[in-house]
Chain A
Amino acid sequence: MQNLWIIPALPLLGFLVNGIFGRKMPKLMVSLTAVLSVVLSFAYVLFVLSSAKSLDQPAVEHYFTWIQSGAFNVGFDYQVDKLTAIMLLVVTGIGSLIHIYSTGYMAHEEGYWRFFAYLNLFMFFMLNLVLAANYLLVFVGWEGVGLCSYLLIGFYFTKKSATDAGNKAFIVNRIGDFGVALAMFLIFITFKSLDFHKVFALAPGKPVATLTAIALLLLVGAAGKSAQLPLYVWLPDAMEGPTPVSALIHAATMVTAGVYLCARSSVIFVHSPAAMDTVAMVGLATAVFAAVIGLAQNDIKKVFAYSTVSQLGYMFLGVGVGAFSAGVWHLVTHAFFKALLFLGAGSVIHACHGEQDMRQMGGLRKYAPVTFATLGCASLAIAGFPFTSGFYSKDAILVAAHAHAPWMFWVAVFTAGMTAFYVWRAYFMTFFGKYRGHGHPHESPVSMTGPLVILAALSLAGGFLFNVPEILGKMFQVEAEGAEAATLTYISVAFGLAGIGLAYFLYVVNSALPDKIASSLGGLYTLVYNKFFVDELYDVTVVQPTVNGSRTLLWRGIEHYVIDGVVRGVGANALNIGGVLKHLQSGNIRSYATWVVIGGAVLLILMGVGGFAFAGGVR
């Protein structure tokens, strides 16, 4: 026993303390509780991993039987293997940095304690998700992080757009959760268990069609949580939340839960080529689609949000072509550089007094040098600049994609070029040229720049520090190996550098050109700028029919006549029956006692007639 429960219990404790007493506590105490609970959790993870003998086989810890109903038996079990270990390190490590950063970023906000309580609760659910040893417990974490995401997106609840975004995230995620729930039902029917070790042991012998169905349903869930096509729409809107939330939940950890779920269920996916292809296609399509939208956004957080969607697409591509460990590797490095991008964006927004539009920024390198430098590291990493973290993981995915189908490689590598372009476009618009905003920009406090520097180091060196495919070793059954890796690497690096170069040319050297290009493209630009009108499309095809149908049929029809009718009927009947029965309630103790004696007599007679069930129990 390694007492794994301590890992999520610490943030839960922090949540309880801050949630219950936070309002009354001084700010210092709130931040101390929140930060310490996560940092201690991180320290405990390190302790567990260093004291673990071997992580090749998951060490399951059973705490208690949670649900027992006939053949359905679910335990409250945690397990740790290499995949979980990597996720634990990322979640608690990045979580700690972002908690520290938040103490600076949120210092002047209303509801400081509420923010940290939610953040700690999120950590609890996320850790529960990665530690869980069966699907139902994963689902608890899955729903829990969704709840926290909703609460934190709508953190500024007086702002209508924020609460709307929260609702949108919650509702879109429900679709995915529905998929996961159905997948769990199917898993239970097929395997008679939800425990990972049992399911994965039995999976090879099951019919491919069933496994494909399970895998596709899991993919629906993963697409909802990890913002893949067609359920990606909530993630860009989720940027209404405070920036640390965007970094922690909507970039580094929660949105990668879908990738984690696929990697965790790799045994099921591997046995279903059709599902694998679907995963790869969804991932690739999302990567391209989001990258194109990202080209034309002006809100710095929106740019990074679309880049998150796009990068998540890469991870799914990796998983889909069979390179699970490459997908997880990209998950880890992405957590480093995307958290840094968002935190850096937060620092930029902080510097510009809350301005998020990049057209109102510029020239910030003089005013915020630390942010400038660290954000540069992150941008290099995401562009796949040689020997940065993103270079390694993206390269691993691209090589695997080439081995699977060369055309996938070319699409992905072109997308990598676009990624480099729009991230560096944002970088140049923010830090170069002249300051176009109002007031005097300033550098952020040390509590914010400190985590930035650490993350910058990880973004640069994280690739070879955490060589995930090497760590995971033979954990996954299928691993695509690329032969002509060197050539492919040169190609992808060339595309990345081309993207950076183009951005430099358009936004630093000749900054009048982009507007001209935009106007010459006309309708196409409008289409991209408005995100392909996907939100509007969903509104017309799904939201409006649902709302109208609910209003006319469900509300006026079923609700009014059927449900209300039943309720009123029940009430009226209860009144009539009660009118008869009320004479029994005389209020006289002796009459009550008589009824008790009569009841006792009837019971005894029934026992005598039915044969005393307990007879013979004596001997």
Chain B
Amino acid sequence: MEIFFFLLFAIVALACALNVVLQKHPISSALSLVGVMVSLAVLYLMLGAEFIAMAQVVVYAGAVMVLFIFVIMLLNAGAETRKGGSITAQVLGIPALLAFFAALVFLITTYYPGLSPVKFGDFTGGGAREIGMKLFSSYLLPFEVTSVLILIAIVGAIVLARKELD
């Protein structure tokens, strides 16, 4: 049962991720990205991360992606233009990526070959209650600092996107 759902959503996620990169038009990329995020949310749920799965859907697939699509629409962005460019990226990019990926997979399979199997319901510590308890006890200060960060982001966004910079 788990293996079925894992494979299903892993494949959906990978396909959507590839689509993000391969699509010429940003709006298609953005919609594919929503697909990646929703399937990741399902995987989170299988790993027992209920709260994070909800947040993934609401914050990422919802709020952040709406922002992306809004900007794409606002700028009326079309297919990308090919002008200028980097020799380094074209020559070294793909080999470097492959090396990176191979090294990563090698490390995982060598050093974490036999981690415990994931069975739905094994771990139930990821509910809103548990996260809330941690967030407002041991992680209180980082949490409060986060609010300052968001405030700064809001102010920064407003200042940057203002019509006139006078």
Contact = CB atoms under 8 A, between A and B. Distances in A.
Contact of B103 (A586, A601, A615): A601
B97 A597 contact: yes
B115 A604 contact: no
Interface string B55-90: 000000000000000000000000000001111110
Nearest to B97: A597
Interface stretch (A61-69, A147-155, A587-595): A587-595
Contact of B89 (A594, A604, A605, A608): A594
Interface of A is mostly: helix
A601 B84 CA distance: 27
Chain B interface residue number, banded:
20 to 34
B96 A601 contact: yes
A607 B100 contact: no
Given A591-B86, A594-B88, A598-B92, A612 B110 contact: yes
Contacts of B111: 612, 615
A600 B99 CA distance: 9
Interface string A576-619: 00000000001010110111011011001101100010010010
Given A604-B107, A612-B107, A612-B110, A594 B86 contact: yes
B15 interface: no
B4 interface: no
B97 A590 contact: no
A612 B100 CA distance: 16
A604 B99 CA distance: 9
B94 to A, nearest CB: 10
A544 B99 CA distance: 69
Contacts of A597: 93, 96-97, 100
Contacts of B107: 604, 607-608, 612
A605 B103 contact: yes
Contacts of B84: 588
B136 interface: no
A214 B87 CA distance: 68
A618 B115 contact: yes
Interface string A551-592: 000000000000000000000000000000000001010110
Contacts of B104: 604
A521 to B, nearest CB: 77
B99 A605 contact: yes
Contacts of A615: 111
A598 B99 CA distance: 8
Given A590-B86, A601-B99, 15 more contacts: A588-B84, A588-B85, A588-B86, A590-B88, A591-B87, A591-B88, A594-B88, A594-B93, A595-B88, A597-B100, A604-B107, A607-B107, A608-B110, A612-B107, A618-B115
6 A-B pairs with the lowest CB-CB distances in the bound complex, closest first:
A604-B103, A591-B86, A601-B100, A591-B88, A590-B89, A588-B86
8 contacts: A591-B88, A593-B89, A598-B99, A605-B99, A607-B107, A608-B106, A612-B110, A618-B115
